[in-house]
Amino acid sequence: MFTKKNAVLEMPADAVASADGGALEYAGFWARVAAIVVDSAILTVFGVVLLSALTMAMGVTGAVIGNIVWFLAYLLYWPVMESSERQATFGKSLLGIQVTDLDGNRTSFVRALLRNLAKIISAIPLYIGFLLAAFTGRKQALHDMITSCLVVRAGPSSLMKAVGAAVGGLLIAGLAGGYYVSEILPGQLMGGVEKEMDKAMKSAQKDMQRDLDKAMKSAGKDIAREMEKAMKDAEKEMKKEMAKAIPDAQKSAPPAPPAAAPQKPASVALAPTPAKPASAPVMKAEAPPKAMPAAAPSADDKPKPAQRVVKRKPAAAPPMADAAPAPPPRTPKYNDVMSAVMNRDGPGTAEAVELGFWADRPAASGVTPLMVAAMNGDAAIAQLLLKYGADPNRRGAGGSVLDYAVKGGDSKVVELLKKAGAR
């Protein structure tokens, strides 16, 4: 056998001379298999430890980083080791073999990298490319032939060492692989599944929220459009009802009394008649004195004439001034409360209710004066009608009094009706 320092080797029958005069002994098939098993076990243990540490420290991200590092280690382990001063991996060194070019010299990194990439070609047809090392003259596999490389013996080797290395490598690789499959891989898979599920849940929630927001906006627009349409229809219907209510109210109202002639002022009605001069007071005649028994008349006595009673006319009573004529009956401006409210005449409405007209008298359609005032947004008339007994909870064709106020859009009227107990 030879060493790297120009050792003298026995030349086997199929050996060739090396560049330094020595002989190259080609490595056998089983020695190469044992070396691959040992190297694979080393890389497997390294990968399991690396993945375990990174996964426990960083979770799924650590597992991804560990797999990348493990792949790079598999890719660069053989080229770096076989192009180094050792010219062999740890497994090959244990088996006493190394990689050289056709002249037995150290290979470059590029050639070593290409040799290991060419192993992919050797593995494609059922690993036949690897099996060629057992049958070719220089023990070359297909990837050795492609890159012009040899695998030769660099030191002593024994069958027991090769078997022990192979069995030990397989055992270590099996244990490490089993630990990875049972402990690490499920965590990675579950972590990936949980991550995907979480991502899917978040995506589904976003989609649902987006669809819900879109549906709510669409529904809100539809509701607003329908409410606006309903309000317009109700307003039109109410105007029609009010237009019908006015003639009905006018027909049902009692006729107004004819207007009286205008009264002259008392100061110029009649001039006082000048008083006639008063007559002298009538003097009553005094009763004659009671006659005394007359004495016998004498010759000298002459008869006296009887006194004449003058009757006086009674004095005329002083003239009386003419009395002022009675005021004519009061005539209202409107025959009913509804007409005054329809014309938005506050004083006219006050006059009608003060004269005793029914403040809550409805039209044929059921519309009351308070509903009209609420629709017109006239808070003063509405307050006056409530004062004179209008019902704030009366209902007509277009709804309640409060509904009419809401349609009218006057907040003061709405607040006034609510204070009055409208519902």
Smallest Cα–Cα separation from 7: which of 158, 155, 139, 157? 155
The amino acid that residue 320 corresponds to is: M
Q: For residue 370, what is the enclosing H or E element? A: helix 369-376
Residue 98: helix, strand or coil by DSSP?
A: strand
Smallest Cα–Cα separation from 380: which of 358, 413, 411? 413
pLDDT, position 80: 95
CB-based contact 109:82 (threshold 8 Å): no
pLDDT, position 70: 92
pLDDT, position 381: 92
pLDDT, position 266: 43
The amino acid that residue 291 corresponds to is: A
Query: Domain extents for the chain?
Result: 29-156, 337-420
pTM above 0.75, yes or no: no
Give the CATH number of domain 337-420: 1.25.40.20
Taking only the tens of pLDDT, the chain with its 423 residues reads 334 333 332 333 344 445 455 578 899 898 899 899 989 988 988 988 898 889 888 888 888 998 999 999 999 999 999 999 999 999 898 888 999 999 899 999 999 999 999 999 999 888 899 999 999 999 999 999 999 999 999 877 666 776 777 787 778 877 877 877 787 667 666 666 667 777 888 888 888 888 888 887 877 778 878 878 888 887 888 777 777 766 665 565 555 555 444 444 444 434 444 444 444 444 444 444 454 444 444 445 555 555 555 556 555 555 555 555 666 666 777 878 888 898 999 898 998 888 888 888 888 888 899 999 998 899 999 989 998 999 999 888 778 988 888 988 899 899 999 989 888
User: In 149-160, which positions are buried (b, 16+ CB within 10 angstroms) versus exposed (e)?
Assistant: bbbbbbeebeee
pLDDT, position 325: 63
How many contiguous H segments (helices) and E segments (strands) does the chain have? Answer: 15, 6
pLDDT, position 151: 95
Residue 155: helix, strand or coil by DSSP?
A: coil
Going from the C-alpha of 30 to that of each of 35, 95, 146, the distances in angstroms are 9, 10, 21
CB-based contact 374:396 (threshold 8 Å): no
